[in-house]
Amino acid sequence: MDEVVRIGIAEYAVSQKPIILRTAGLGSCVGVIIYDQERGLSSMAHVMLPDSTISRNIALEIGKFADTAVVELARRLRQSGAIRLRAKIAGGAQMFQFKYEHESMRIGERNIAAVKLALRKANVPLVAEDVGGTNGRTIEFHSQTGRLVIRTVNVGTLEI
């Protein structure tokens, strides 16, 4: 049985061995998985917000923001020898409905867009996604198979 590493909100992990990366409580947050399956390298971040410009201490909050988390995961994987990086994402739900939705309240949509932009800038192709909706998710990435198992509240389980 592979080791399970739990990633909390605004955290990230990088691994060079067979592992299961898991994060729970993805509402408007986005789970970002970047991996090189052939080399056995994998990573996951639990991204809370789209843009690090609001951060007071970015060194302590790399996993919190789409722009910094994606760059850091790609950098660390490439540093470990990754050649063929790919990404999968899940989350970004609109958890609360507001009568007058101001753009700043649409965190899920903004997180999805920011993660996709950061992946393009880092030259990491997005190969699968399960994003949006109104329900929270728990995700589990199996590094040996490249499977991302997504459990969505009131919906069920999906594998991508």
- Domains of the chain (ranges; CATH) run 3-159 (3.30.1330.200)
Q: Residue 43: beta bridge partners? A: 14, 34
Of 12, 95, 98, the residue nearest 61 (C-alpha): 12
Q: Do 137 and 152 meet the contact criterion of CB atoms below 8 Å apart?
A: yes
Distances (CA, A) of 105 to 10, 24, 47: 19, 22, 16
Per run of 10 residues, the mean pLDDT along the chain (length 160 residues) is 91 96 96 96 96 76 95 97 97 75 76 98 98 95 96 92
Nearest-Å Rg of the Cα atoms of the chain is 15
Annotated active-site residue in 21, 29, 49, 89:
29
> Taking phi first (over 0 means left), then psi (-120 to 50 degrees means alpha), and beta for anything else, what does residue 129 get?
beta
* Spatial strand order in the sheet of 126-131: 12-15, 41-47, 30-36, 86-91, 126-131
Question: Is residue 130 among the annotated active site residues?
Answer: no
Q: Rounded to an integer, what is the distance from CA 44 to the centroid of its chain?
A: 6
- Residues 68 and 150: their CA atoms lie apart, in Å, by 24
Q: What's the pLDDT at 67?
A: 95
Distances (CA, A) of 100 to 28, 49, 96, 109: 18, 21, 11, 16
